Structure 1
């Protein structure tokens, strides 16, 4: 399996090189182990070796051996941390897996194409390019997206009435 984005580095926190991160993993305690090395995007920034990981007021804070002060931490802003995909989690979907998949209704009618996965605090959203060219958003939850068929190149969206009509023209 290829590497996937597990976090995006945000702003510095304090003076000792800590940074906030936007998580792209459901298992931060397993992903962010002190001493772990991460490849990065852009590649020239890394690899980065985790020095500390803590949670403060619900925000994950990381520091790296390569960034020991606030100035060095600021230079990391926007960097993506990459790690190997978890092959054991069959319900884990990454943006790279989903973008480009055909979107179908339960009856097989083509709805559109997945163009992005947006992670949100409450639930992730799939952004779709609908058949008419409009954009649409659907919550990426099992009740609305009951089937993700990577091998078949499709997902099934069982949208409640009116959900895709909210996309606007």
Structure 2
């Protein structure tokens, strides 16, 4: 498997017959049914989703061969992957997080700022995290204004650093 993509994480056991809570990282949570076997990152173990239903903020899934609560409990926290080529192609200006991780981050003049280490979303939009060669990581909005260019062929993103970041000024004490 070339580049495995994490599509889900198994949570706690659900019930006594081997079902598990399943958090998916796909646009359509139920898509995990259609990817075929889901694997551990190293490919050593495979899991076939035999039944899945929606719950409040996750799915409840039954995995082939997992029949007891004890079996399910041993899987808690396990991340599940598929081969990158099993995912649909992205639209223009749409990217899989895994395609961005590790790209060089440069400014408009081509000067290195660091590399992309994560994409986060805490509910208000995507955030790109850049690790400079020295110093603390930088969190920036993943918008066209701040990241005008994503060049996967050249393995880089162009970052337009905002002129002012809210909160930079120290408060005045009186």
Look up the match of 2:95. 92
Alpha-carbon displacement from aligned partner over 1:31-70 (angstroms, at most 9, x marks no partner): 324x9322223534x2111121111113222220121222
Q: Which structure has the greater CA radius of gyration? A: 2
* Secondary structure class of the residue paired with 1:29: helix
Match of 2:171 in 1: none
Which digits, 9 at most, give the CA deviation of each residue in 1:64-110, with x for residues without a partner? 01212221111112222112322522423232x32321112334343
Looking at structure 2, the residues matched to 110 and 164 of structure 1 have their Cα atoms a distance apart, in angstroms, of 24
Aligned to 2:155: 153
State the distance in 2 between where 1:158 and 1:139 align: 11
SS at match of 1:73: helix
1:41 and 1:79 in contact (8 A); partners too: no
What does 1:10-159 align with in structure 2 at a 5 Å threshold? 10-33=11-34, 36-44=36-44, 46-85=45-84, 86-90=87-91, 91-95=94-98, 97-118=99-120, 120-159=122-161
CA separation of 1:51 and 1:122: change in aligned 2, threshold 3 A = farther
State the distance in 2 between where 1:17 and 1:140 align.
39
Instruction: Please give the root-mean-square deviation of Cα atoms over the aligned residues, in Å.
Output: 2.8
> How many residues end up aligned between the 2 structures?
163
Q: Judging changes above 3 Å, is the alpha-carbon distance between structure 1 residues 162 and 11 closer, same or farther for their aligned structure 2 residues?
A: farther
2:12–2:76 CA contact under 8 A, matched in 1 = yes
What is the alpha-carbon distance in structure 1 between the residues aligned to residue 133 and residue 38 of structure 2? 39
TM-score normalised by length of structure 1 = 0.77
